[in-house]
Amino acid sequence: MSVEVLTFFVFILAIFLGFELIFKVPSMLHTPLMSGTNAIHGIILVGGMLALAGADGTLERVLGFVAVVLGAANVFGGFMVTDRMLQMFRKKKR
């Protein structure tokens, strides 16, 4: 099995995993869940860092830098704003 096929294998399994994970989530959690998964796709920052690390030439550096800034904003902002939402959920249980 080639690496390409193996990664495709993982990809297909992950599709089903994603469906299973959020089956039957109460609607009150839709917003935090959307926000939380939004933060998780911020893992693109890893891709941005690798791309910028290997960049040569001004254009590649500029594009890579913008990718890193956007990715970092996605990942850090995403987790923080989700936490801020969920913090309020906890408060009301008192």
Partner 1 sequence: MSTPIALAFLAASVLFIIGIKLLSSPKSARAGNLVAAVGMLIALVATLPLMHVSAVNATLIVVGVLVGLIVGAVGAYRVKMTAMPQMVALFNGAGGGAAALVAAIEFAGHPGSTFFVSAMIFASVIGAVSFSGSIIAFAKLEGHLEKPLTYPGQQFANGGLVLAVVVLGVLLTSTLHSIPLFVVFIVLALLFGGLMVLPIGGADMPVVISLLNSFTGLAVAADGFAISNLALIVAGTIVGSSGTLLTLAMCKAMNRPVTNVLFGAFGQASTGAGGETASGGTVKPIQADEAALLLGLGQHIVIVPGYGLAVAQAQHQARQLADELAQRGVEVSFAIHPVAGRMPGHMNVLLAEANVPYEQLIEMEQINPQMPRVDVCLVIGANDVVNPAAHEDKSSPIYGMPIIEAEKARMVIVLKRSMGKGFAGIENRLFVRDNCRMLFGDARASLQELVTLVKAG
Least Å distance, CB 13 to partner 1, is 9
Least Å distance, CB 68 to partner 1, is 3
Q: Does 58 bind partner 1 (CB under 8 A)?
A: no
1 or 28: whose CB is closer to partner 1? 28
Q: Does 11 bind partner 1 (CB under 8 A)?
A: yes
Query: Which residues, numbered 19-48, are part of the site for partner 1 (CB under 8 A)?
Result: 19, 21-48
Q: Does 87 bind partner 1 (CB under 8 A)?
A: yes
SS3 sequence of the chain:
CCHHHHHHHHHHHHHHHHHHHCCCCCHHHHHHHHHHHHHHHHHHHHHHHHHHHCCCCHHHHHHHHHHHHHHHHHHHHHHHHHHHHHHHHHHCCC
Q: Does 1 bind partner 1 (CB under 8 A)?
A: no
